[in-house]
Structure 1
């Protein structure tokens, strides 16, 4: 079972609601478009240039949607992303230098940058060769890692612009005590609720439901 499946199931248990999987949004696609990014289009294209994206490869590749790990409907109304080791590369750290100040986030970018600095070597080494392959839009060694980082910005920047609450992210390292079995059952649920309340800036899940 993929790690994210177990984590999402625990989040569902905490919220008391079933997440929607394989949900797509018309504005969350695999190419940067002015109509989706609006005032932030120049910023996302500056990031694209920094990551050495190939525009011809981008415009000629097949159109597609970026599918979130999960979407939690009302009263939460946010995308949920569980970030495993392979997300924490130097490319991901680069993205944060381009984040506009007015984009709300439901996680701590400073902590994510620290994770990138600590784990970038292992992140690039993880998994099969396809994790490091060249892509049409980033046609160089480790291009897939750069593409992953680029698309993570889409999942952060676009939802609030299109009426969703900020994307909630949890890093693998933040739930290691659950993944390694140190915390199970009610203890794991209590720990997860604390993390989620920190993200949502509420004192309890019950408080969120009452709003």
Structure 2
């Protein structure tokens, strides 16, 4: 277990040596590794210290946009000059965001905001169908290079018939820019997504993805999710539930005949991306709520169903 006091002391030492006011995870983690305090990640530089920061264990650290900043522990923010961030994710409502009054998950969003306010004495903003620029439907070339598990997972989902790097080369510019949306986004200073997983998110392909979460921070009980996916098998079909209606180079039709299951494979892959991309972009892990918690109700929740959600969040320490 990391010794937080020694880590903070080492960060202060680094800043004093370098005559700097602030350092970043990528810059400081190699120094901490050299001092034998916290090994860095070869594939994701700075990830180990970012995990500590996300847990709030270095209380004087802060974020500007998506970027973590670590000042000297003896200085206050008022003495520091903010570092301009040209790539910050400004908290704003995207054009296609649905208002809370019209969204079926508003009761759950309101509940989560209430729980956060009770625990932290801060009321965050709450957006629905939130589409940040970085939440892409397909992984970027950089993410594929940095996250080897992504290619391994893709291989499993496509029965090792295709290579993710090779198929990525077939994506058009339009496909590369295509974005997903989160069901709910909890804003500053907490910055995390909430996904309410309905029937289509439980199947044999989603089950495969849970073997690839070892290096990803999560905010849902993965064992429970494995159990929920354990005995559900969706068979190929002709509907949009199982078969893609438009071409996706990453998930072409793999079966003979009209019945296909490429939409299910694609959905499982994109669910994994929704858990991976927030972490890669400096945000907190995605909180997932399975619809089994609300007795498979997906709208017009009763007080009992909302209490179930509250108990699920508290029992699993998700906030």
Fold agreement, TM-score > 0.5:
yes
Structure-2-length-normalised TM-score? 0.52
Pick the structure with greater CA Rg: 2
Runs of 4 or more consecutive aligned structure 1 residues displaced over 6 Å after TM superposition: none
Q: Distance in 2 between matches of 1:154 and 1:201?
A: 20
Match of 1:118 among 231, 246, 253: 231
Alignment check: 8 A CA contact 1:106 1:166 kept: yes
Q: Which has the higher contact order (CA 8 A, sep 6+)?
A: 1
Q: Note the alpha carbon deviations across 1:78-100, whole angstroms, 9 max, x for none.
A: 1110111111111101111222x
Cα distance change, pair 75–120 in 1 and its aligned pair in 2 (3 A): farther
The corresponding residue for 1:195 is 312
The corresponding residue for 1:43 is 149
* Aligned Cα root-mean-square deviation (Å): 2.8
Match of 1:132 among 242, 263, 282: 242
Gapped regions of structure 2 (runs ≥ 5): 1-102, 115-123, 254-259
Cα distance change, pair 26–35 in 1 and its aligned pair in 2 (3 A): farther
Alignment check: 8 A CA contact 2:190 2:284 kept: yes
Cα distance change, pair 86–177 in 1 and its aligned pair in 2 (3 A): closer
Q: Secondary structure at the match of 2:185?
A: strand
Q: Distance in 2 between matches of 1:190 and 1:117?
A: 26
Displacement of 1:57 in angstroms is 8.1
Structure-1-length-normalised TM-score? 0.76
Gapped regions of structure 1 (runs ≥ 5): 203-211
Matched, 1:78 2:192: yes
Cα distance change, pair 196–118 in 1 and its aligned pair in 2 (3 A): same
Which runs of structure 2 are paired with 1:1-211 in the superposition (5 Å)? 5-6=103-104, 8-14=105-111, 15-16=113-114, 19-36=126-143, 39-40=146-147, 42-52=148-158, 55=167, 59-60=171-172, 62-63=175-176, 64-99=178-213, 101-121=214-234, 124=235, 129-134=239-244, 135-136=247-248, 137-140=250-253, 141-176=260-295, 184-185=302-303, 187-201=304-318
Higher mean alpha-carbon deviation, 107-116 vs 190-199, is at: 190-199
Higher mean alpha-carbon deviation, 46-55 vs 80-89, is at: 46-55
Alignment check: 8 A CA contact 1:12 1:18 kept: no
Q: Note the alpha carbon deviations across 1:126-167, whole angstroms, 9 max, x for none.
A: 9x8011114522122110000000000101112122121110
Q: Distance in 1 between matches of 2:314 and 2:293?
A: 14
| Number of residue pairs aligned between Structure 1 and Structure 2 | 190
Cα distance change, pair 176–75 in 1 and its aligned pair in 2 (3 A): farther
Q: Secondary structure at the match of 1:165?
A: coil
Cα distance change, pair 193–95 in 1 and its aligned pair in 2 (3 A): same
Displacement of 1:31 in angstroms is 1.6
